Amino acid sequence: MTTQPIEKESTSFQWTAHLELFAALLSGLLIAIAWSIGKSGMENASIILYIIAFLIGGFAKAKEGIEETIKDRQLNVEMLMVFAAIGSAVIGYWAEGAILIFIFAVSGALETYTLNKSHKEISALMGMQPEVAWLIEEDGAVSQVSTDSLSVGSVLLVKPGERIPVDGIIVSGMTSVDLSAINGESVPVSRGEGDELFAGTVNMSGAIQIKMTKPSSETLFQKIIQLVQNAQSEKSPSQQFIERFEGTYVKVVIATVLIMMVLPHFLFGWDWTTTFYRAIVLLVVASPCALVASIMPATLAAVSNGAKRGVLFKGGLHLEHVGSLKAIAFDKTGTLTTGKPIVTDFIVRNGKDSEEVLALLASIESQSNHPLAMAITKYAVEQGVQIPSAPQIEDVPGYGIRAFVGDNEYLVGNPRFVGEDAVHGFKEDVAMKLAGEGKTVIYMKNHEGIVACAALRDTLRPEAADAIRDLKQLGISPIMLTGDNQLTASAIAKEAGVEKYVSECLPERKVEEIKQLLREYGTVGMVGDGINDAPALATATSGIAMGDGTDVALETADVVLMQNDLNRLAYAVKLSRKMQRIVKQNVFFSISVIVVLILSNFMQVVDLPLGVIGHEGSTILVILNGLRMLNPMNKS
């Protein structure tokens, strides 16, 4: 586990943010005192205080600028500010230079605050994952141990009010669980034997025993932490462009300022003091501080916002892509549907007792671990049927089960196994009707013919139809790609509200379909959960994995929907589009301010104090505008 390093790193960021803010405020106080005593005629003392304000307020940014200059071997924005402050002092504008350093220090503290907020999301998640657990030994004794020492298969006791220490399934007990740490929903949900639980969620009521299913280093929380860390370190294309642009722009500004120190004296007849003064003002107002700060604070805030609400972006690149999607392709099983078949219809031959027949069928199916057999057995239990002792069976892979009950032989399986003719004659050919509804039909037959049939279907996720509707309202076209047959695909697509679908898609076919959609729409997302979806996820503009998907899908995807909530898709798109709007606002605003201030300086309209306020004030404004991304948005 990586708890300790993450917590230390987060604490370091908090201290850095506090120190930078304290230094900025202290330098501001010293500037106020220096200005006051300067008005009283104590100029030397006033200059000394200004110099101290320079050192205190500018130390962090100057250190950062020098280190980056040495590392990258080129000047940066921080060094421009240092030169501008020194130039102001050289021509006797101590107050203006000090104010420049003060506002620059405040903007730097705001940037550090943004980074700190992102790291806080990680440390808050880490605080939700317990470091100790109650281990139930083989002899029944209970002891408290470190979660790092646990292994898959360990059985743990979780008491009411405690956080669940590991990912696992309930093997004993019933309770309600607060899942808000993962899915953001405040209403607890009921959980019983066989249900999955996640580390960091809260056991609200009953004492339960859980069986550990994943190592502590691979829990859902650890995946969240790793993905958020990766997202913070990966820069968006816009940010990468700005950083490349910054180096060239700084060189141009320095060259222009050097020319400005000489040329206007000869071209416009300015005296040397005015010429040098205007060059210093140009150095201040032309620095691209606001432009550089236009993107990263907003991106980091958006990544943190998404992580807090169950949408994990693996970087700024993927955050930008999601907002530009024109179409999203969905896998069916496990994505639009739950991936767990349930019995929807149970029909018996006339004259037969439904409960007796269901009990017999369940006793046969209870010996198989096939998903359809397990679903039929579960259905019988839910109906309150007493399942008799299991008869002798013979498994016929790919077809069904042959069972022997007394002197009678029963065949349980698909139409090819029990006989197509017998199926067509049962209950006015009910098989075709059920199959037309997208259901899989299992038959039970004896020497008299079909005794009963059970229709099963993978059910649509409760939120799937709403999620598809929301995406349509955002102008995104949904498409379903599935390996299932035409009839099943048609039924599920209709229920979900998807007009376009492609059935019987093998992994290679899914990739070809995604390529075709890319040619048609330009930017396409793919949502999936299985190994067979991984190639399509990698091919799409944005690969989006369900949170409980396979490791391959999670590794391949660019975005992960924790808790498999499809409603978060629309939230992710809105979050991305809002971030892009804010970034565009920031870039337009910062460039406009720079252009206006530069022109005003050449026209000798703006003086150094106003240039300092305009330039640094715009930097603070774009950072604050970017921090709006931390605010939650309505799901609707």
Active site (catalytic) residues = 331
Asked if residue 225 lies in contact with residue 6, where contact means CB atoms within 8 angstroms, the answer is yes
The residue written with tokens 């998807």 in the block is 498
Name the β-bridge partners of 169.
Answer: 196, 211
Distances (CA, A) of 61 to 118, 324, 609: 21, 36, 20
| Backbone phi and psi for residue 172, each to the nearest 5 degrees, phi listed first | -160, 135
Strand order in the sheet with 175-178: 189-191, 175-178, 202-203
**Residue 320 CB neighbour total at 10 angstroms:** 23
Distances (CA, A) of 137 to 134, 167, 311, 425: 10, 19, 38, 57
Question: Strand, coil or helix: what is 175?
Answer: strand
Name all contacts of 115-119 with Cβ < 8 Å and 24+ positions apart.
Answer: 115/13, 115/17, 115/300, 116/10, 116/13, 116/14, 116/16, 116/17, 117/300, 117/301, 117/304, 117/630, 118/228, 118/232, 118/300, 118/301, 118/303, 118/304, 119/9, 119/10, 119/13, 119/14
Residues in the chain, total: 636
DSSP annotation of 628 reads G
CA 381/CA 375 separation, integer angstroms: 10
Beta strands in 380-448 (DSSP E): 392-396, 400-405, 408-413, 440-446
CA 239/CA 325 separation, integer angstroms: 20
Which of 303, 299, 308, 302 minimizes the C-alpha distance to 124? 308
CA 319/CA 324 separation, integer angstroms: 10
Question: Strand, coil or helix: what is 430?
Answer: helix
The DSSP bridge pattern shows strands 542-546 and 524-528 to be: parallel
Helices of type H across 408-529? 415-418, 420-424, 430-436, 464-473, 486-496, 507-521
The DSSP bridge pattern shows strands 440-446 and 408-413 to be: antiparallel
The residue written with tokens 């907003």 in the block is 298
CA 596/CA 335 separation, integer angstroms: 52
**Residue 384 CB neighbour total at 10 angstroms:** 7
> Which amino acid, one-letter code, is at 92?
G
Which of 553, 539, 478 minimizes the C-alpha distance to 511? 539
Asked if residue 627 lies in contact with residue 302, where contact means CB atoms within 8 angstroms, the answer is no
Helix/strand/coil (H/E/C) assignment for every residue in 509-562: HHHHHHHHHHHHHCCEEEEECCHHHHHHHHHCCEEEEECCCCHHHHHHCCEEEH
| Backbone phi and psi for residue 481, each to the nearest 5 degrees, phi listed first | -115, 120
CA 615/CA 622 separation, integer angstroms: 11
